[in-house]
Amino acid sequence: AQKVTQAQTEISVVEKEDVTLDCVYETRDTTYYLFWYKQPPSGELVFLIRRNSFDEQNEISGRYSWNFQKSTSSFNFTITASQVVDSAVYFCALIRGAGANNLFFGTGTRLTVIP
C-alpha cells in the first residue's frame, strides 16, 4: 500500500518569512516518483517538481527548494522569503513504480502568507 502524509493542515506566515511544508510517504516499491503541486484558488493544480526514487539530490528553483531523504521517507518543500502570491494549498503526491501514471495525493497544506 502507499500513503502520503502531510501533517500540517494549515500554516500562516508573515511575508518574507521562510516556510517548510512537510511530506512523509510510504511505499513498498523501490521505484517511485514524488511530486509537489500547488493549487491556487482558481482550482487547477500547478506542477512544481518531480523527483524519482533514485535521485536524492536536493533541488533549488528560485525561492523554492526541496529536500528528499529516503532514510526518513520525506520530501519536504521550503519556500524562502515567502510572498503573498505563494498563498495556496500545496499537495505532495506519489506515483508507484514505472509505467504508472496515477498520483496518490496527500491531504494538502493550506499556506497563507500575510502581508
Partner 1 sequence: KAGVTQTPRYLIKTRGQQVTLSCSPISGHRSVSWYQQTPGQGLQFLFEYFSETQRNKGNFPGRFSGRQFSNSRSEMNVSTLELGDSALYLCASSLNAGNTEAFFGQGTRLTVV
Q: How far is the CB of 12 from partner 1 (least distance, A)?
A: 20
Q: How far is the CB of 105 from partner 1 (least distance, A)?
A: 4
Q: Which three cell numbers stand for residue 104?
A: 496518490
**Should residue 43 be labelled a site residue for partner 1 when binding is judged by CB under 8 A?**
yes
**Should residue 26 be labelled a site residue for partner 1 when binding is judged by CB under 8 A?**
no
Q: Under 8 Å CB-to-CB from 40, ≥6 apart: which residues?
A: 46, 87, 88
**Should residue 62 be labelled a site residue for partner 1 when binding is judged by CB under 8 A?**
no
Q: How far is the CB of 95 from partner 1 (least distance, A)?
A: 6
Residue 30 to residue 16: CA distance in whole angstroms: 38
Question: Binders of partner 1 among 71-110, rule CB under 8 A?
Answer: 91, 93, 95, 98-108
Q: Indicate the DSSP class of residue 91.
A: E
The stretch near partner 1 (CB under 8 A) out of 8-16, 19-27, 36-44, 56-64 is 36-44
Distance, C-alpha 78 to centroid of its chain: 9
**Should residue 37 be labelled a site residue for partner 1 when binding is judged by CB under 8 A?**
yes
* Contact set with partner 1 (CB under 8 A): 33, 35, 37, 42-47, 50, 52, 91, 93, 95, 98-108
